[in-house]
Structure 1
Amino acid sequence: MNYDTFFKIFITLHAIGGFISLIAGTISVIAPKGNVWHKKSGMVFYYGMLTAGISGIVASLLPDHNNPFLFVVGLFSVYLVLSGYRALRFKKIKEASELRDDKIISWSMLFIGLAMIVYGALSLLSGSSMGWILIIFGGIGVLNAVGDIRAMRDIASLRKKYLRLHIGKITGGYIAAFTAFFVTNQVLPALLSWLLPTIFGVLFIGYWLRKTKPRKKTTTETL
């Protein structure tokens, strides 16, 4: 069977979804948090990233078209935007049973992340420097998954963290979109194209997490 036609269809969907995500994601980042532009562009970004991620994963697994780059970006795109969008639900969570699907997503990411680290190490032993990419992104996936699993153990705390979890994951998806753009268009040398968007993205996430950190009540406020 010739898989070229299927590959062209899915890679086209991947490109369209990624392009829409970059535009919608940029609008969502610039727009004031919580207003109508932020919400509407955020939803377009969410569905665009799901389209880009899922189609990228399918395209990367087709016979004669195996592509580790597409698989990694697609996987992280789906995981980050899906868990980031679902984090908005945490504000109203009352029972642990409501987190079943979220736990499945996090545990799946944990095992896949570990597999990426192992595969990356084997790639390094075989002489491929791109093994570092798999190790780094696999490590990021594992850390995110472990953080999610721990957070879901305390429902009361989870309700308070919902916005921080949403911001961190959705921004991570935005970083994945930019990383794909940099790598595909060879904006910078290979390793820099992979890592530079992540470095700036981590700084951006850190800024917003500090900004949304709950203030401790002062002695005067508690009296």
Structure 2
Amino acid sequence: MELMLFHSLIVAHILTGTTGAIAFWVPVLGRKGGVNHRRWGRVFTYAMLATGSFAVAMSLLTLADPLGTHPHLAADYSPAFLRGVFGWMMLHTGILTINLAWYGWLCITNKQRHAANRTPLNLALQYAVIAAALVCALQGWLIDQKLMIGIAVVGVATGLTNLWFLHKPRVAREDWLKEHIKALVGAGISVYTAFMAFGSVRVFPELALHPAMWSIPLIVGLALIIWHRLEVERQARNRQRLRAVA
């Protein structure tokens, strides 16, 4: 029964993750602010919230019974390893995905109403991802998996920078847009990392924890974040010049 539930969660996780991975590119590459941008942005956000939630549920089942949920890996990996990678690290990445999707959604929903972003849920998600990241790092150290420590840095950085922005007394006009881009592209990085890293366990187990499987989505995502943030700043400078001329 437990294995059937776990496999059902995997199927749901793959379906919502695939939906999000496809929807991700429409707002990223398409015209900003248009109907398609908003429509597919909503699809992506809902898909990421669901994907992260399924990941959290899968991680909790793994923590409770690592061998029972991963019988195909029992001959090659210890229960401690399965708990670490598919339990604690997946719990961290699941919470991180939910955090980024919700934070990014609030930034675009509230726009310049900055105080409206400081909801109890949004603040709690920042502390939750920091806590999950610290536990992930500790468990990675205990089982000598440096990748878990590396991915935990992302969670701590996300929570701290989000809290810094949420508690800023004053923000510039374009700051909410920069945070929206950072968060939702970050959620996209998360889903592609999961597909390449966790998904490769079933196809190429020897590559699952290879740094390249984790670094490719991160490098592409960071490039997209930097490019879009520079574009936001360029447009802001153009508006300022037009106002000065007028």
Describe the superposition over 1:94-134 as per-residue Cα deviations: whole angstroms up to 9, x where unpaired: 6479543322221222222222222222222xxxxxx2222
**Structure 2 stretches lacking a partner, 5+ long:** 70-82
Return the match for 1:106 from 126, 130, 140. 126
Matches within 5 A, 1:1-223: 2-62=1-61, 63-64=64-65, 65=69, 66=83, 67-68=86-87, 70-93=90-113, 95=115, 98-124=118-144, 131-157=145-171, 160-183=174-197, 184-185=199-200, 189=207, 190-213=210-233, 214-215=236-237, 217=240, 221=244
After superposition, the CA RMSD in angstroms is 2.6
Q: Percent identity over the alignment?
A: 22
Q: Compute the TM-score of the two structures, normalised by the length of structure 2.
A: 0.77
Shift of 1:6: 1.0
SS at match of 1:156: coil
Counterpart CA distance in 1 for 2:92 and 2:98 is 10
Task: Give 1:90 shift.
Answer: 4.0
Is residue 52–residue 74 contact of structure 1 (8 Å, CA) maintained in 2? yes
Structure 1 counterpart SS, 2:143: helix
CA 1:103–1:121 in structure 2 vs 1: closer, same or farther (change >3 Å)?
A: same
Q: TM-score with structure 1 length normalisation?
A: 0.84
Q: CA offset at residue 158 of structure 1?
A: 6.6
In the TM superposition, residue 160 of structure 1 has moved relative to its aligned partner by 4.1
Unaligned runs of 5+ in 1: 125-130
Describe the shift of the 1:118–1:37 C-alpha distance in structure 2 as closer, same or farther (beyond 3 A): same
Q: Count matched residues.
A: 215
Which residue of structure 1 aligns with residue 72 of structure 2?
Answer: none
CA contact under 8 A between 2:106 and 2:117: conserved in structure 1?
no
SS across alignment from 1:57 = helix
Offset, 1:154: 2.1
Report if the CA contact (8 A) 1:91-1:158 is conserved.
no
Query: Are the aligned partners of 1:10 and 1:55 in contact in 2 as well (CA < 8 Å)?
Result: yes
Residue deviations 1:153-191, cap 9 Å, x none?
Answer: 224317641110010010011111111221214579332
Please tell me whether the aligned partners of residues 9 and 58 of structure 2 are also in contact (alpha carbons under 8 angstroms).
Answer: yes
Paired AA for residue 130 in structure 2:
L
Measure the CA separation in 2 of the matches of 1:222 and 1:215: 12
Q: What letter is aligned with 1:17?
A: T
